[in-house]
Amino acid sequence: MLSPSLEQYLIHIYELSEQNIEIKSSELTVAVNMPLKKTIQALQRMHFQKYIVYLAYQPITITDKGKEMARYLLSRNALIEEFLDILQITEHREEEKEAMKQYLSQESLEAIDHFVCFVKQYPEIIARYKVYSKRKMRTKILEPLSEEK
């Protein structure tokens, strides 16, 4: 798998390639807001892993393997967004998304995918969950954790 920063680069490269935009390392540096040296190192790593073709002073091209990985990453990100929407997670949402992207196993992601598809097929479940959540039920599995001040 790719590191979070390499994922970001690959997604940008994929999106630009889908728009038939010639991709240069200097423009990618601006898009991801990273120093040129780090961008070149990232491009070299992705080239070595066969996600892209990177040659100095040449446009960057994405391989079929890179396209497949980028589509997977985009779908994983969309799945996590939908899951957090269902759970009505708003506080620390970005941190939650990043943690989930990095630490959930493929098996867990597939189970979440299955659950999200199920809930979308039966939207009344979401409505019932919202009512349940508002009631602040006393029945819980997770023990409360005292907040330190």
Q: By C-alpha distance, which of 79, 148, 145, 74 is closest to 114?
A: 79
Look over the chain and give the mean of its residue pLDDT values, rounded to a whole number.
Answer: 91
The domain 75-135 having CATH identifier 1.10.60: the answer here is yes
Do 4-67 and 75-135 share a fold? no
End-to-end CA gap in the chain: 39
pLDDT at residue 51, as a whole number: 98
pTM: 0.87
Beta-bridge mates of residue 62:
52
**Second-level CATH architecture of 4-67:** Orthogonal Bundle (1.10)
The residue extents of the domains of the chain are 4-67, 75-135
What pLDDT score was predicted for residue 129? 87
Q: What is the pLDDT of residues 50-107, one digit of tens each?
A: 999 999 889 999 999 999 999 999 999 999 999 999 998 999 999 999 999 989 999 9
